[in-house]
Chain A
């Protein structure tokens, strides 16, 4: 597969280590896709939310127009959790007997703050966006590697778990039917021909399945990694690629970012330094109330305990000059 083809898949993920330029390139890819005529939605799954910063727009959980063919949204974990819980609550309000209403509400409140709730809500929102056909192209600006691997492998794990629950539930339903057949009136009049629990579980499983089948379809989906020429981004990206492959998610290729140009002569460095001076001034003024240390760019990357040991005098030097 050519990188060009990967970049033109209906569902494109841009991922990589933190700080390699995922957000910039994802936004550029979405803009390019829109310019060439396809309505495109740029989705940030990174809770740090730099997408709005790079577009210079205030983004929210609802798609807002960026150009006449491009839209953008940010999945906000807290907001997604709230929305999901409220949806469930509204659905349950009718179905719950009044005497249980209080306890159901209490349990929902417990679940809302339970570990994993936000992850689940983000996944829910992600799966729904993936399932909609409102936009022919989706570009995902993903969270740093670890979180994204987790998000993309969730449907696989959850399908297995919920599959187990469903087969248990089927057994219960089946035994319930047998019991009603032999017991007649003693079993009570309740007809459980369609088990609401089974129905709810199967609906969930269906969403997980559809998500997984989209994520693993190489005709529809490609994951493109952004990497910078640096020790840690290279190693992390290498590991992440095989991890994605092991989950069956098609990797489309690499974008190597922040390569120094060949003709990096005096004027190039001067311009970079001027750019940096502006950012440093910005840091000084924004964070002036905080103690701050300054570490210079090194000509080589310190690796291993020995390499890091060489950093110690530098760290001490920094600490002595800490404002």
Chain B
């Protein structure tokens, strides 16, 4: 509500501007690297899980493959986002034909 602070003039406005700048610096210096580190870690672990679930594709027999068929819809979606992230526009040979 910009009208309400009009009376106390530019002091309050100035304070706000500085606070917001400080928050942006904090974001840029601390939060952005932290956030991207967590994102990278998340994606790495998700990929590792994908490999473990479909080790067959790499020629490593998976003893529980038959018991994890229920996971297929979820994991095919993940596989799709994986190959896009790896810069492959279409699914690589030997994997899922997701697109």
Known: A158-B64, A165-B52, A172-B42. A103 touches B70 (CB 8 A): no
* CB atoms of B38 and A161 under 8 A apart: no
Could you tell me the distance between the alpha carbons of A95 and B72 in the complex, rounded to whole angstroms?
A: 10
Is A271's CB within 8 Å of the partner chain B? no
CB pair A106 B97 closer than 8 Å: yes
CB distance from A111 to the nearest CB of B (A): 6
> Once the chains are docked, how many angstroms separate the CA of A37 from the CA of B20?
82
In-complex Cβ contact of B73 among A84, A100, A176 (8 A): A100
> Secondary structure at chain A's binding surface: helix, strand, loop or mixed?
helix
Let me know if A95 and B42 touch, CB within 8 A.
no
Name the B residues within 8 Å of A169 (CB-CB): 49
- Contact, CB under 8 Å: B74 / A197: yes
Contact-size category for B: 20 to 34
Distance (whole angstroms) from the CB of A312 to the closest CB of chain B: 41
Given contacts A88-B70, A171-B45, A179-B39, contact A158 B63 (CB under 8 A): yes
A88, chain B: closest CB distance, angstroms: 5
A165-B53, A178-B42, A183-B35 given as contacts; is B66 within 8 A of A100 (CB)? no
Cα(A201)–Cα(B75), bound, Å: 13
Q: Is A108 in contact with B69, judged by CB distance below 8 angstroms?
A: yes
Those of B59-98 within 8 Å (CB) of chain A: 61, 63-77, 96-98
Q: Is A281 an interface residue (CB 8 A)?
A: no
| Chain B residues near A91 (CB-CB < 8 A) | 70
- List the B side residues contacting A183 at CB < 8 Å: 35, 39
Which residues of B lie under 8 Å from residue A157 when comparing CB positions?
A: 63
Q: How far does the Cβ of B79 sit from chain A's closest Cβ, in whole Å?
A: 10
Residue of B nearest to A159 (CB): B64
Any chain A CB within 8 A of the CB of B22? no
Tell me if A97 counts as interface (CB < 8 A to partner B).
yes
- Asked if B46 and A172 sit within 8 Å, CB to CB, the answer is yes
Q: Which of A116-124, A254-262, A290-298 contacts B (4 or more CB under 8 A)?
A: A116-124
Residues of A within 8 A of B63 (CB): 116, 157-158, 161
Shortest CB distance B7–A (Å): 34
Distance of A158 Cα from B48 Cα, bound (Å)? 19
Contacts of A265 in B (CB 8 A): none
- Smallest CB separation, B89 vs chain A (Å): 17
A103–B31 alpha-carbon span in the complex (Å) = 40
CA distance A287 to B45 in the complex (A): 61
A209 contacts partner chain B, Cβ-Cβ < 8 Å: no
Q: Is the CB of A162 within 8 A of B67?
A: yes
A73 to B45, CA, bound (A): 45
In the complex, which of the residues A108, A161, A175 has the most CB atoms of chain B within 10 Å of its own CB atom? A175
Q: In the assembly, what is the distance between CA of A91 and CA of B46, in Å? A: 24
A197→B71 contact, CB < 8 A: yes
Residue of B nearest to A102 (CB): B97
- Pairwise interchain contact A175-B98, C-beta atoms closer than 8 A: no
* A–B complex contacts, Cβ < 8 Å, 23 sampled: A88-B69, A92-B70, A96-B72, A100-B73, A100-B76, A104-B76, A107-B76, A114-B66, A120-B66, A157-B63, A161-B63, A161-B64, A165-B52, A165-B53, A165-B68, A175-B42, A175-B45, A179-B39, A196-B74, A197-B74, A200-B70, A204-B64, A204-B67
Closest 5 CB pairs of A and B: A120-B66, A175-B42, A96-B73, A200-B70, A172-B45
